[in-house]
Amino acid sequence: MIEKPPSWQKLFSPELFDKITKSSEMKDIISKAQKEYVYWEKFKYYTFPTNITPEEAWAFLKINRISGDTTSIKSNNGKNFTYNTTKSLWQKLNFIDTHGAGLIKTFNDKPSEVQVSKYIISGLTEEAIASSQIEGANTTHRVAKEMILSERKPRTKDEQMILNNYRAMQKLEEWKDLDLTEQMLLDLQAVLLDQTVEESDKDVVGRFRSDDDQIVVHDPLSGEIAHTPPKAEIMLKELKEMIKYANQPDNEDDEFVHPVIKAAILHFWLAYLHPFVDGNGRSARAIFYWYLLKKDYWLIQYISVSRSIKNSRKNYDNAFLYSEHDDNDLTYFLLYIANAFQKSIIQFLEYFERKLKEAEDIKKSSVLLEKFNIRQITLLQYFISHQDGYTDVITHQNKHGVSRITASTDLGSLVRDGYLRELRKGRKFIYMPNMLKIKKVLSKIKSI
């Protein structure tokens, strides 16, 4: 369980201020703590001068963090959450703006029209899988991706959760030009929970919680209560404030909040209010995604912030808890989300650069061979590392963002030339590799 920071207000005094400001060692310590924006649990283990206790040093650090921006999010005791826009936060926001809203810095322009459809499907798929896995969906990445791309029906509740998340992401693209409403939130939750709750619990779908619903958030490791959401009456009142904030125009200087900060605030706010019996985490991440789409952060369609969150789940949970336990200081959460967003962009840029190089290599090969198109060579190369795999028309169509006729033509010509074998599986045809012939032709490509 997270240790709450010590009460610091009574410790601070003119004498303490004088003692710390005269210490060059403490200046370095405070500067480091501010740069990293450390929480008490880490800060208390710093090495301090012998005449200064960790609690006194913390009191001085807190004074340095007081002058921040106030949000409309209220804690259960009625105190507003605040945040500081640190240098580290601004650096991350600058990186996100440069790559996520403008042109990709490494390249000349956005992905081409052919790449757009392919990368959006890939990005939505990754986000759907990761966001569901954060909430406990237990299935492999490969199986989940195969289900979405082949459009097969889910076989388990976990697969249904992932498919629901994918459909929710598609809905948000349709809603990006709309104002947020209570009905939109209810519709979003209904999509996320479709066919994943027990028959006896179906009444929780598409409605906000009431005081009859006993809702608490438990620490995933200790099982102890980590957060108790506000009572239903207060939650509904604060939810209206959240919706008002989400729709508030930011064209006035005194009202402007950086879009990524505002998206993260909405993420935290919805999770804090916990308006539903189930689906709160997924809904909060979806609203973060929706707001950035609304503000023309086009790259959010191609990346998965939830994958970065899943890979640092403990830090994600701690960011919520630190913000709540340390005088409602939302900076911890904002820094975490900005960092996860930045990592997601870096991963995409590396992926995009690699795919551009692969596409260029394939294009050279296909021109020389005059036998395959780029999609076909990509498929043949896929089978080199997935010799037991198979594909079908729908999967090929979705992977490459082409029409069903084009996908069918691609696969049909590979069957006629003996590179694939067409087999019936249930009601559809699947295509399996003829590895001897594929290896032979790809060896020619490498030798060119």
Domain boundaries, the chain: 14-66, 84-350, 371-447
Task: Kindly report the pTM of this predicted structure.
Answer: 0.86
Provide, rounded to the nearest whole percent, the portion of the chain with pLDDT above 70: 91
84-350 under CATH 1.10.1030.10, yes or no: no
Closest among 405, 410, 372 to 391, alpha carbons compared: 410
Question: Tokens for 448?
Answer: 């060119």
> For 28-60, what is each residue's pLDDT tens digit?
999 999 999 999 999 999 999 999 999 999 999
| pLDDT band of 100, cuts 50, 70, 90 | confident
Please state, in angstroms and rounded to a whole number, the distance separating the CA atoms of residues 296 and 283: 20
Q: What percent of the chain has pLDDT over 90?
A: 56
Secondary structure (3-state) at 77: coil
Query: What residues contact 20, with CB distance under 8 A and at least 6 apart?
Result: 26, 30, 52, 56, 57, 60
User: pLDDT tier at 448 (50, 70, 90 boundaries)?
Assistant: very low
Q: Is 369 left (phi over 0), alpha (psi -120 to 50) or beta?
A: alpha
Domain 84-350 shares a fold with domain 371-447: no
443, two tokens: 């060896």
For 165-186, how does the pLDDT look when each residue is reduced to its tens digit (9 = 90+)? 999 989 998 999 999 999 999 9
What CATH class does 371-447 carry? mainly alpha
More confident site: 415 or 225: 415
CB contact burial 237-261 (16+ within 10 A = b; e otherwise): ebbeebbebbeeeeeeeeeebbbbb
pLDDT tens-place string over residues 117-134: 566 677 778 888 888 888
